[in-house]
Amino acid sequence: MRWVESGDVRLWLVEEGDPARPTILLVHGYPDTHRVWDEVAGLLRDRFHVVRYDVRGAGRSTEPADHAGYTFDHLAGDLSAVLDAIGKPAVHLVGHDWGSLQCWDAVTRPGIRERVASLTSFGGPGLAQAYRFMREGSRGEVAGQRARSWYIGVFQAPVLPETAWRTFMPAVLERSMRVRDGIEPRPGHPADTLARDGVNGLWMYRLNMGAGLRPRHTDERGDPVVDVPVQLIEATRDPFVSPALLASLGRWAPRFWHRRVVAGHWAQRGRPDVVARMIAEFVDHVEGAEPSPGLRRARRVAGSPAGRTPEPGRAFEGKLVVVTGAGSGIGRATARAFAAHGAEVVCADIDEPAAVRTVEGIVKDLGGTAYAEQVDVSDAARMEDFARRVRAEHGVPDIVVNNAGALVAGAFLDHSVEDWRRMIDVNLWGVVHGCRLFAAQMVERGEGGHIVNIASLAAFTPSVLLPAYSASKAAVKMLSDCLRAEVAGQGIGVSAICPGFVSTGIARHATYVGVDLREVSVEAVARRGYPPERVAAHILRAVHRDQAVVPVNAEGKLGYAMSRLSPGVTRGLARLSKAALRLGRPRPHGTGSRP
């Protein structure tokens, strides 16, 4: 700990870790101090040289003699003085909130940008880049960001903001941290100097938010381009910065990585483990290491229009998707659909050659990236090995589609215990294993995700022909509802997809007990003519819109509506379905027709 002189102020500097290792310089925001970084610094200091300081007028640092001393020029001068004190050719900058704003400005300034190896930004855009977004973004997106930035106008008013900070604002801030971010105040954050820091920092808004928005350090075309590698960490629950504004920042950074953490404004307090991991992975990569799978997929191409959503066909660019039962039918169609929309896909199936064929089709037909895996979803130990292997080789998946399933058809009294066991093991336990293992990975990673469970029309429409299958699919739907409620707070969505009759091979490969309905079933499904590709489209839409229950095709939607509006009618129709048993060929009691 030491003082650094910068003009007429003294800056309080804190250093941890081995100075011989790469240096990470953490710059705090408003109205914080260097103590907001305590948790992150504690996680990084064993591997890096970690430096923090209180910006002018905050914490232990002194304030300038005049309010005019809070311009970006003065803040850049402070950063330059800190870099001089560190004494290294280059450091890795990490900025949050106003710390992020001043870092974006600093890395465009000659004399500083040459001394910055990388920039990690969260909680605040570059003002010059934000200026271009406000000029060129769509009306709706610009209006949305203006609504989030309401406080900037309030801070311009005389006297009132100062009075608020000296009276009730510290208590309001602490309550906001608890309610909105889910974090508890602790010693050092908010700081004991909060009221004074809040008053002093108002001048950063008053002096920089007008002219400061206009680019001053630009390239030859007048664009606010940043030459250093930039990692943007988007806190998905930050109420102050819109996703559209953050996405537009990649336009100005040729080397740009965009990552997300499920957290509020103070992500370094809410999920310090995730923030520290992302910083470390990025610094390691800039220093020469291979990128982690998550960092590799986070790389974005500069030059996309500001504030625009991904172009059609690439909506899942940078996502890792796991699909079970991907060797055929709905699973194969879903794997291909995600790959066509830019995702990397792990295609898993109990039939490894079938999974390989799906991968070969994705690579040859779509030019996509996919990997084949063999797994029996009903086997807990093998599923655990599979989940570990996916994480080790490809990273934590963003989307998991639990699709693998089996079908036993016939009357309840013709089902054996083994028939029931098979239905529960594959259709229910397979989904349970997939949800349990991959949801745990997603929660730990802290970046959100989505789980899709393939249920069925049979989940809410009883049938004499499918007692075990219907029971297993009803359980899948309820499991999905329960899990959705549990993990919603972690930014993880869960969807239950409930198709009606789909033209796949499930009828041909089913087990029939009591009577052999194979020929009738295969013909009926073929005549229905509903391709699995249309189910896949519903799955992608469900993920994009975070839909809870998605009935698919006419009979699926009608059955779902009837189950909610008139359950008695669905039970009556179930009794009528008994007539279908007379269409099949009788078989000896208790035996099954195997595929």
Q: What is the pLDDT of residues 380-391, one digit of tens each?
A: 999 999 999 999
Q: What is the pLDDT of residues 288-305, one digit of tens each?
A: 999 999 999 999 865 444
| 305 in a structural domain | no
| 309 in a structural domain | no
Q: Which of 235-239, 253-257, 569-573 has the lowest mean pLDDT?
A: 569-573
Assess whether pLDDT exceeds 70 at residue 580. no
The pLDDT mean for the chain works out to: 92
The pTM for the full model equals: 0.90
Same domain, 252 and 114: yes
pLDDT of amino acid 303 = 47
User: Backbone phi, then psi, for 509, in 5-degree steps?
Assistant: -95, 5
Same domain, 376 and 326: yes
Q: Which amino acid, 108?
A: T
Q: What is the pLDDT of residues 472-498, one digit of tens each?
A: 999 999 999 999 999 999 999 999 999
| 199 in a structural domain | yes
Assess whether pLDDT exceeds 50 at residue 212. no
Same domain, 341 and 292: no
Report the alpha-carbon distance of residue 361 to residue 552 in Å, rounded: 26
pLDDT of amino acid 589 = 45
Same domain, 83 and 204: yes
Same domain, 234 and 328: no
How far lies 95's CA from each of 124, 267, 538, in Å? 8, 12, 40
What band does 310 get if pLDDT is binned at 50, 70 and 90?
very low
Same domain, 92 and 141: yes
Assess whether pLDDT exceeds 50 at residue 307. no
Which of 300, 333, 355 marks a domain boundary?
300
Number of separate domains in the chain: 2
| 307 in a structural domain | no
Assess whether pLDDT exceeds 80 at residue 186. yes
Q: Peptide bond before 31: cis, by omega within 30 degrees of 0?
A: yes
Q: What is the CATH number of the domain that holds 424?
A: 3.40.50.720
What is the domain extent for residue 493? 320-593
What band does 209 get if pLDDT is binned at 50, 70 and 90?
confident
Mean pLDDT of 349-358: 97
Same domain, 288 and 437: no
Same domain, 273 and 361: no
Same domain, 328 and 221: no
The three-point CA angle 296-302-305 to 5° equals 130
Nearest to 362 by CA among 389, 342, 386: 342
| 311 in a structural domain | no
Report the alpha-carbon distance of residue 323 to residue 450 in Å, rounded: 12
Strands 49-53 and 91-96: unpaired
Strands 369-374 and 299-300: unpaired
Contact criterion met (CB below 8 Å) for 262 and 490 = yes
Q: What is the pLDDT of residues 121-137, one digit of tens each?
A: 999 999 999 999 999 99
| 312 in a structural domain | no
Which of 300, 329, 344 marks a domain boundary?
300
Assess whether pLDDT exceeds 90 at residue 82. yes
Same domain, 291 and 337: no
Mean pLDDT of 13-32: 98
pLDDT of amino acid 587 = 56
Q: What is the CATH number of the domain that holds 120?
A: 3.40.50.1820
Q: Look up tokens 């855009």; give the residue.
A: 125
Same domain, 355 and 248: no
| 48 in a structural domain | yes
How far lies 304's CA from each of 213, 311, 359, 506, 590, in Å? 21, 9, 30, 43, 63
pLDDT of amino acid 584 = 52
Nearest to 452 by CA among 328, 336, 554, 322: 322
- Residues that are catalytic: 469
- Alpha helices per DSSP H over 87-234: 98-106, 127-136, 139-148, 150-155, 160-166, 169-176, 194-208
pLDDT of amino acid 328 = 95
Report the alpha-carbon distance of residue 366 to residue 75 in Å, rounded: 50
Q: What is the pLDDT of residues 465-477, one digit of tens each?
A: 899 999 999 999 9
Mean pLDDT of 50-55: 98
Assess whether pLDDT exceeds 50 at residue 308. no
Q: Which of 184-198, 246-260, 312-326, 364-378 has the lowest mean pLDDT?
A: 312-326
Q: With b meaning 16 or more CB within 10 Å and e meaning fewer, what string describes 467-499?
A: bbbbbbbbbbbebbeebbeebeebbbbbbbbbb
Same domain, 431 and 340: yes
Q: What is the pLDDT of residues 400-432, one digit of tens each?
A: 999 999 989 888 999 999 999 999 999 999 999
Assess whether pLDDT exceeds 70 at residue 585. no
| 306 in a structural domain | no
Which of 265, 300, 335 marks a domain boundary?
300
Q: Tell me the angle at which helices 532-545 and 329-340 cross, rounded to the nearest 10 degrees.
A: 50
The three-point CA angle 300-135-200 to 5° equals 90
What band does 222 get if pLDDT is binned at 50, 70 and 90?
confident
pLDDT of amino acid 512 = 86
